[in-house]
Amino acid sequence: MSWMRPWALALCLSTLGWGAAGAVDDPQVATPQDRQWLLPDLPPHPDDNAPSAARVELGKMLFFDARLSSERNLSCAGCHSPLYGWSDGLGTAKGFRSKVLGRASPTIVNTGYNTIQMWDGRRATLEHQAMGPMESMDEMAMNLDALFAWLAVNPDYRAAFAAAYPGEPIDKTTTSKAIAAFERTVVSNDSPFDRWLRGDRLAMTASQVKGFRLFTDPDKGNCAGCHQAPNFTDNGFHNIGLASYGQENPDVGRFAIKPVPSLKGAFKTPTLRDVALTAPYFHDGSATTLQEVVAHYNRGGAVRTNLSASVKPLSLSNDEMRDIVSFMEALTTPARPFTLPRLPAN
């Protein structure tokens, strides 16, 4: 039977070769190109605000302390709560004395990876953004001189600032730096999608993998044209044709900051990480579910005036839309234990 051995060997090699090719072609396996979606371990930080335990803890206290508002009843966490994916669950935010504001509260998840902040991009960094709500008479309406005077005489805060920023005053700079240091710790990077990218082929379902392929296919969903790797944003601004733009005196978005005609009605592309936790959606809170979001894009928007060129009817089937929604649901990092800070006494 020795004459059979070369044939048997060839069969074995052929089988091994087929198996290797099958593994490479397995649609359930992430490709090297897919791994561009993996986030860096930590968000970048300014040279003068390197992260430290003292800075993060101080920022956490400030973030959750309602005494940073004029009526001592609204903290940063009032609009960016861990209970709602670091948003607030409202269509549009509420500010000073429950005033209804014009835009939804964006999540702070992964904002440390962004190169520009806020729906209209009016702030470049987390440090620049941090004090804005406190100063705004529509939001926390705080007198900053009174705030810093109170922080300076409170023994617990005084000690916390000294530990975090030794030799520096308690002022707008150190307060905003501390809040930003905390916000950079609010990171989503261990979702089923992330685990799939790292090699766990069973971390996502077949529907979710199909949804990812549709999401990134320029001839299908083309979602990745704006929601780019790795943080699902291009840090750019787009008019996506929301119905609210067709109303009288619509919110012009980025145009108010940079008056270029193409930016009229354009808003910043938000990250989609943990997006299943942050309903309702869009800057005006007009979509209550992810299904409504995908249906909006599949129609090519509701209002075509000044529509961004990337927004076109997609002709996706119901199954394809379901797969894209299923993929977006795979972008949620499982809940981690979170301890609220112990706030200083009055």
Q: What are the structural domains of the chain?
A: 47-183 (1.10.760.10), 192-329 (1.10.760.10)
Summarised one tens digit per residue, pLDDT across range 107-126 is 999 999 999 999 999 999 99
Q: What is the pLDDT of residue 27?
A: 83
Which residue among 57, 127, 139, 320 is the active-site one?
A: 139
Residue environment code for 35-47, b if the CB has 16+ CB neighbours within 10 A, otherwise e: eebebeeebebee
Angle of CA points 124, 140, 250, to nearest 5°: 65
pLDDT band of residue 26 (cuts 50, 70, 90) is confident
pLDDT band at 346 (very low <50, low <70, confident <90, very high): confident
| Residue from 336, 148, 297 nearest 214 by CA | 297
> Tokens at residue 198, please?
């790292």
Of residues 109, 95, 120, 114, the one with CA closest to residue 44: 114
- pLDDT exceeds cutoff 50 at 4: no
pTM attached to this predicted model: 0.91
Whether 183 is a known active-site residue: answer: no
Residue 120's pLDDT is: 98
At 22 the pLDDT is 41
